[in-house]
A and B are shown apart, each in its own frame.
Chain A
Amino acid sequence: GAGVSQSPSNKVTEKGKDVELRCDPISGHTALYWYRQSLGQGLEFLIYFQGNSAPDKSGLPSDRFSAERTGGSVSTLTIQRTQQEDSAVYLCASSLRGLGTEAFFGQGTRLTVV
């Protein structure tokens, strides 16, 4: 596709439910990032994938959060047993080779936990 695509664009879920957020990176991009942006806050790094290397999971806030990237392309961020503090915009980005190359962001998924 022409850009990074994220789905759904909006998600409302009940506290305690699991949710999956999807990211389709730009074709051919080997690096993929997930960030979280809470209301009025800055961008918080969550996880980084580069090719076939082990992902950098250092930003995941708890073990309720996990992510995978299948076939070096599509990525899914899963939040288990959602809490109200998980409400935020989840942004995905990709870049051609990671370090040194320009990162392009998707439009984000707005998650609301009620």
Chain B
Amino acid sequence: KQEVTQIPAALSVPEGENLVLNCSFTDSAIYNLQWFRQDPGKGLTSLLLIQSSQREQTSGRLNASLDKSSGRSTLYIAASQPGDSATYLCAVTNFGNEKLTFGTGTRLTIIP
């Protein structure tokens, strides 16, 4: 059974700093990995999708990397802003099982 872990559960950093969020998964036979953000009381917003054959994806100040063999992904946020404050979730999809398995998220607070 796939298990997805995100550590730390919460993180506070001053505005302007670069930061890294971590996601690990137990079953490396994934098809892809997706990063989302969730604002309080809202749904999930897709940030980046990485296919299993890819090493990284970039969108603006966000860069997600994937090391499938070690069961890890990182989300790098450059020059953080208060608007980046949210809960960040990663989710994986395994071959033969099309549901997304989510981590429990990292709650990020950017301090102005």
Contact present for B34 and A56 (CB under 8 Å): no
A45, A100, A101, A108: which contacts B99 (Cβ < 8 A)?
A: A45
CB-defined interface of B69-102 with A at 8 Å, one 1/0 digit per residue?
0000000000000000000010101000011111
Report chain B residues within 8 Å CB of A102. 34, 46, 49
Contact present for A56 and B98 (CB under 8 Å): yes
B36, B104, B105: which contacts A105 (Cβ < 8 A)?
A: B36
Contact present for B100 and A103 (CB under 8 Å): yes
A-B contact pairs, 20 of them (CB 8 A): A6-B43, A35-B102, A42-B105, A43-B91, A48-B99, A56-B99, A91-B44, A93-B100, A99-B93, A100-B31, A100-B51, A100-B93, A102-B34, A102-B46, A103-B46, A103-B100, A104-B46, A105-B45, A106-B43, A107-B42
In this complex, the interface size class of chain A, counting residues with CB under 8 Å from chain B, is 20 to 34
Please report whether the interface of chain A is mostly helix, strand, loop or mixed according to DSSP: strand
Interface flag for B32 (CB, 8 Å): yes
- B residues sitting closer than 8 Å to A (CB atoms) are 31-32, 34, 36, 41-46, 49, 51, 89, 91, 93, 98-105
Interface flag for A65 (CB, 8 Å): no
Q: Which residue of A lies closest to B95 (CB)?
A: A99
Report chain B residues within 8 Å CB of A6. 43
Report chain A residues within 8 Å CB of B89. 43
Report chain B residues within 8 Å CB of A105. 36, 43-46
Bound: A31/B49 CA distance, A = 16
